[in-house]
Structure formats: C-alpha cells, structure tokens
Chains A and B, each alone.
Chain A
Amino acid sequence: MAKRKYEHLLKTLNIATVPQMMRDGAGFKNTGNADSIYWLNGKEHLEGLPLNFSWGFYTGLGDWHPGMDPHIHPYPEALVWVGLDPDNVEYLGAKVSYCLGEELEVHTFDKPSVVIVPAGLPHCPSITQDVTNPIGYSFMIFSLGAEPTTTWMGAGVADRQEQQMRQAPPGGAEGVRGPLMVSSFSDKKIKVSPETLTYGHKYDHLVKPLTPFSTKISKLTPEERAQFEKMASDGMKVGPGNADDLIWMYGKDLEGLELNFTWGFYKSPGVWHRGPGDSDGAHVHPTDEVLVFVGTDPSDIDYLGAEISIDMGEEHERYVFDKPTAVICPRGVPHNPVIARYVDRPYAFFLIGLSGEHGTTYVD
C-alpha cells in the first residue's frame, strides 16, 4: 500500500468512550441515559474542529441526569432523537419530555426530533417517558465546541457526585480516554419538581420534527427541487447505495445555527452518487464537515453491518472500513465517491456540516 496521506482523518468511533461521569457508579445507571455511547470531540478526536458529537443507543426510562439539570454550555448544540426502524425514518419508538429555559418549559415528542439549544440557554431535564420500540432508539448530540463543557445547575447534585466529577479522570487504561467533559457547577441552583415545571410555548421554535428529504423528486419542496435539479444538471444521479429516505436540515431550519446535518438509513450496496464525471461525486465544501457511519444493532455499538469505501483527496486515496467510523472532511479536501461494498444489516449515516448551508463543488 502507498503512504496513507489522509488516514488521520478517519476515526473509528471506538476511539472515544463515554464521559467519565457516566462510569464507575458516578454515572447514570437505571436512568433514561445511554446503554452504550461514543462521544468524540474536536480537541482529542476531530483534528481540532469546533465540534463534539455523540452517538448512542437508549432503552431506559426516566431522567437522563438525575438531580443535575438543568445545565448550560458555552456553545450552541442540536440534540437529535432518531428511531431504529430502517423502513420508517419517521418512527422514533419512544416518548421524551424535554425542558428548555430557566422556566423548565416542558416539550414532549414521540417522533424523531431535533432540539436546538442556543449557547447559554439552560436545558434539561431530559426524561424518557416511554419506549415502545423493543430495541429502543438512538440519540445524537451535535455541539459546536471542540471540548464538551457543561455547567450543571441542578439542585440535586450530591456533594460526593460533585466531588467525583471535579476530579481529573484516571485515563490511561486501555480503551479509555478522558477527560471528555469539562464540568463545573453553578452557584445558581434550579430545583426541578412537578411544581417548578411549566408548559408554555416560549421555546416551541426550538423543537422540530425531522422531516424526510425524499429522494423522490415529486416530494421535494420548490427549493429542494431547485437544488436537486442543479445537481442533476451537473450530471449527478442518486446511486444504488444511497439512502431510501434522507433527512437534511440546514441552518435555516436550525434557528440560524452554523450547522447542517443529515440522517438516513442505508440498506443496499453500490455507489452513493453517480456522476458527475468518472469520479462519481468527488467534491469539496467551503466549510468543514464530518461524515459518520454507524450501525443499527443496539446490542453492539461497534458493529456497522457493512463495508464502505470512500476516496479522500485529489489523489483519490481510498479508505475501506467495516466498523462505525467518522470521516473528517476539512474544508477544501476532496472526498467521495462513497461505495457500499456489501450490507449485512441496514446501517445509518449522519453528516455534520459546520455551516448553515452545504455548498458543494464537484472537482473531477
């Protein structure tokens, strides 16, 4: 094999473990929090990108961070709940209540949804009320900061818990990285109880259902149709390996965040994009993005269920993987085509673009 110029841009998700606070009894057992999770951050895993993101499987009921919420971050984020039925991208299989603002305004949803949290806005508790899919559901955080940083405002944090979270994590053990979360504790405490919850509509605009961007042009909005036709005029067509239904939300859909993301299930082998040209979709963007390939088997977060190849750089260096993987695409670095060589089990993919729009220029 020739020298691998871009291999630092491909990261198996298992390079990152859960935050220290979620292990060793200081975490969230018997809560609604994750059964298994990976959390990658720009500082340690993503070549310095101002981004941290998570991917996890969830089946539990109840509060995700008992006693600790609400909390705030110095950066904005999008919190994305998705289902695990590859035949129905609009099915969540769970019912979630989420609080926003110091008012603890409760919002409840049972469809795949995104909650947009501006920097500094108190949010949570997040409470899983019900899980109706027998295999649970998934959840992703897209946070626009290189280092997960949280200030906890809950009135129920025990002194022992606070002390443990303030300690430097051990690190060093095989397969364990850290610290992954910089925690602090607010002097201002907010008590969460049935009496303090509110049910207004101040933050309705921050909770949005995920709407499929269908690959069937007849279902596109005029704007989406124009974008699709532009791509088609460049000679690009959807390949057999692409998603059946795809959700794509841009900054305009996310309260102006410098973020766009996709979510979709992929079931079939083949190239994702046909054309333009022989490269089948090699392109660049003016902003950074991360492509994340994940499995849909909650019993094994390290199982992808497919073998994928992707080209990186002008040289079309090809990388092949069959484990859940993040591909970092710095601005201006050509990438693609993506080709699914085989698919044993439907897998999922999400793109995190660090701009509100997703400008694309095909390069060869």
Chain B
Amino acid sequence: MANRKYEHLVKPLSIGGMDTNVMKDLKVPKGAFANGPGNADSIVWLNGRDHLEGLNLNFTWGFYSGIGDWHTGQDPHTHPYPECLVFVGLDSANLNYLGAEIEICLGEEQEAYTFDEPTIVVVPAGMPHCPLTTRRVWSPKGFGFYLASLGNVPTTTWMGDGVSEEAMKAMQEAAAKSGRQVGMTSYVSEKRLKKNPTKPTGKYAHLIKPLKTRMITQRGQRVLDGLTPEQREQMAASAPQLGPGNADHLAWFYGKDLEGLEMSINWGFFSKPGIWHRGVGAHVHPTDEVLVFAGLDPADINYLGAKIEIDLGEEHERYIFDKPTVVVCPKGLPHNPVVVRWVDRPYAFYLISLGGEHKTTAVD
C-alpha cells in the first residue's frame, strides 16, 4: 500500500472505549458503567481533544438495557456547550421503534418529559438537564443512545445533592487505572438541586424532537417532504441517486430542526452491500463533520457486521474497515464514495456535521 496520508482521520470507535471491568470495581449498582443503573452497558466516548483532531465536538455511542437513573445523585447538570441527546432503537426494520420509555428532566424546574419512541433532546449551553431515567425497557436488545456535544472536551458541572468531589475523584481514578486519559472534566456546583421532577408545563417541549418528524428515507426510498427547497437541492447535489448500499431508513435533522444549533445530525439503518450514492464521486462541505459507523449488537460494541470502504482526499485514498469506526472529514476535504463490500448484520450510521446546514459540493 502507498503512504497513508489520511489515516489519522479514520479511527476505530474503540479508542474511546470505557473499560467496563475497571468500572465494575466502583461501588456502583450492577450494570451501570458509571454511577446509575440506567446508564450504559457498554459505551465509547470520543472527544475532539483526544480523538477527533481537535474538532469542537465530543460524541458517544452506547447500548443500554438497565432500568433507573443514569447518574444517581449527580443531576441536574450543565455543560458550557449545547448538545443533542439522541435516543434510538435497535430494530433495524423500524426506525421509529425505541423499545424503552425514557424520562428526562429539563430546566432548573426539572420539568419531566417522557417519550417512548426514538427522540432527540436538544440541550442549550448552560441549561440544567437531567435526571435522566430509563423507566421501562421492552426491547430484548435494549436501546442505543448517542450524544453529540459542541465542545472538544466533555465538561460537566454537577448540581445534584448526592454528588461529591470524592465520587468524582473515584471515577477519574478508575478511568486512569484503565490506562485512559480522563475524558470528562467534572465540576461540582456550589448551587445544589435536590432531585425533584415536576409536571411538564410545555416550556421545554420544543426541545424534544421525535426522529419520525424528519425521516428522509423509508424502506430504501427517499421521502423529502420535510425538507426545504434548498435542502432538497443540497440533498440532490450530495446524492443524485441512492445506491444499493444506502440506508433502509434514515432521519436527518438540520440546525433549523435543532433550535438553531450549528449542527446537523442524522441516524439510519443500513443492511445492503453496494455504493451509497450514484452519479457523484467525492464531495466537500464548508464545515467539519464526522461519519460514525456503529454496530447493532449489544453483546459486542466492537462488532460492526459489515465491511466498508471510503475514499478520502483528492487522491481518493481508500480506507477499509470492518469494525465500528469514525471518519473525521475536516471542512474542504473531499470524501466518498462509500462502498459497502458485505453486510452480515444490519449496522447503523450517524453523521454529525458542525454546521446548521449541510452544504455539499461535488468535486468529481
């Protein structure tokens, strides 16, 4: 193989993995990776500083099956950056199936909003949010969750009355024992709030976005009803014709759909070999983005179930992977086509673009 100019842009998700064996040594409820029974069974968490070439982003991917609070005693909390919390199902035949019931508190009022279908929760910078509670899980596979936060270092100020500096220190030491850099910068707020979910008034309802409201592909066919003319034009430019390897089901949210965030995100299920886009080779965007390829087997977060190639750069350097992987696409860097060589098990893909629009220019 020739010199690999862009290999620093292609990363296995496992580089952001949490060592759950180490985490188990913590005195925490069974099944929790950190400090809540509802939290992840397995999770990866990548951040701009350590993993994403300095991008102003950190994101996760994890599998969840436990019932209960995600951060017992620690919430509410705030971040200095906005973020999207994306709750998704693991039924690749039905993007609108979550298989769980989730309650999330928003605002200092802790208005408790509940949903049982795939949903994005938009959290503005500085807004107290959580407790986050998994109330019920119906799916035998549990569900998936990713967060997309517009900060290159995960930074949290905990406001719960059950949190302590000692607990924070214990978590950081546990992470250090696993040989990993501490990903989260944690602070404890002087102002403490007791867990006290309140009945929702609707004040924050606009922050709750069901995925079904922005479906653009269903059963392999495009559904563009929800897009503006400009977005349709962009979509046509990036993918004049869907290839056989493209999504079975895909939802796409732009900044306008996310309370004006400088972010576009999508979520989709993919099950077939072949090229993703026909009629276009590589394209560029005026903003940075990451492409995340994740598996759907809750028993093995390091299993993708497919083999995929993607070209990067004007040279069309090809990268091939069969493990869960993130591809960092800095602004202006040509990327694509994506070609799926084989699929053993449906996989998921999500894109996080650091711009509210997703302008695309074909380069060849």
Contact = CB atoms under 8 A, between A and B. Distances in A.
B is a partner of A: yes
B209 interface: no
Contacts of A309: 339
A341 B246 CA distance: 11
Contacts of B337: 341
Interface string B233-276: 00000000001110000000000000000000000000011110
Given A1-B316, A271-B307, A241 B273 contact: yes
Contacts of B290: none
Interface string B315-348: 1101010000000000000000101111100000
B318 A318 contact: yes
A274 interface: yes
B1 interface: yes
A251 interface: no
Select the residue from B315, B337, B339 with max chain A CB neighbours within 10 A: B339
Contacts of A341: 243, 245, 274-275, 278, 337, 339
Interface string A1-24: 110000000000000000000000
Contact of B1 (A2, A316, A318): A316
A11 B340 CA distance: 26
Interface in B341-361: 341-343
Contact of A337 (B1, B275, B278, B341): B341
Contacts of B272: 269
A88 B362 CA distance: 41
B222 to A, nearest CB: 16
Interface string A240-279: 1100000000000000000000000000111100100010
B245 to A, nearest CB: 6
Contacts of B274: 269-270, 340-343
A343 B273 contact: no
A342 B342 contact: no
B2 interface: yes
A286 to B, nearest CB: 24
B342 A307 contact: no
A278 to B, nearest CB: 6
A280 interface: yes
A1 B275 contact: no
A280 B275 CA distance: 17
A240 B273 CA distance: 7
Interface in A135-186: none
| Interface secondary structure of B, over-half rule | strand
A309 B320 CA distance: 14
Contacts of A290: none
Interface string B293-330: 00000000000000101000001101010000000000
Contacts of A2: 2, 315
Nearest to B341: A271
B1 A240 contact: no
Given A2-B315, A269-B273, A342 B341 contact: no
Contacts of A307: 275, 278
Contacts of A270: 273-274, 340-343
A239 interface: yes
Given A239-B341, A280-B307, A269 B318 contact: no
Contact of B275 (A240, A269, A315, A318): A269
A341 B339 CA distance: 7
B204 to A, nearest CB: 44
A339 interface: yes
A274 B278 CA distance: 23
Given A271-B273, A315-B1, A1 B341 contact: no
B273 A1 contact: no
A278 B309 CA distance: 11
A314 B140 CA distance: 47
B7 to A, nearest CB: 14
Contact of A240 (B315, B318, B339, B342): B342
Interface in B136-151: none
A342 B246 CA distance: 11
Contacts of B341: 239, 270-271, 274, 280, 337, 339
Given A239-B342, A307-B275, A342-B278, A1 B244 contact: no
B1 A271 contact: no
Interface string A308-321: 01000001101000
Interface in A200-256: 239-241
Nearest to A271: B341
B275 A342 contact: yes
A269 B316 contact: no
A222 to B, nearest CB: 29
A293 B342 CA distance: 21
A342 B343 contact: no
B312 to A, nearest CB: 14
Contacts of B316: 1, 318
Contacts of B309: 339
Nearest to A274: B342
Contacts of B243: 269, 341-342
A339 B273 CA distance: 9
Contacts of B315: 1-2
Interface string A331-343: 0000001011111
A339 B339 contact: yes
A343 B244 contact: yes
Contact of B2 (A1, A315, A339, A340): A315
B320 A278 contact: yes
A269 B244 contact: yes
A278 B319 CA distance: 11
B307 A268 contact: no
B78 to A, nearest CB: 44
Nearest to B242: A342
Given A239-B341, A269-B274, A341-B243, 19 more contacts: A239-B273, A239-B342, A240-B273, A240-B342, A241-B273, A269-B272, A270-B343, A271-B342, A274-B342, A307-B275, A315-B1, A318-B316, A318-B318, A340-B273, A341-B337, A341-B339, A342-B243, A342-B275, A343-B274
6 contacts: A240-B342, A270-B342, A271-B341, A309-B339, A315-B2, A341-B274
List of 5 A-B pairs having minimum Cβ-Cβ separation, nearest first:
A270-B273, A269-B274, A341-B275, A271-B341, A269-B244
Interface of A: 1-2, 239-241, 268-271, 274, 278, 280, 307, 309, 315-316, 318, 337, 339-343
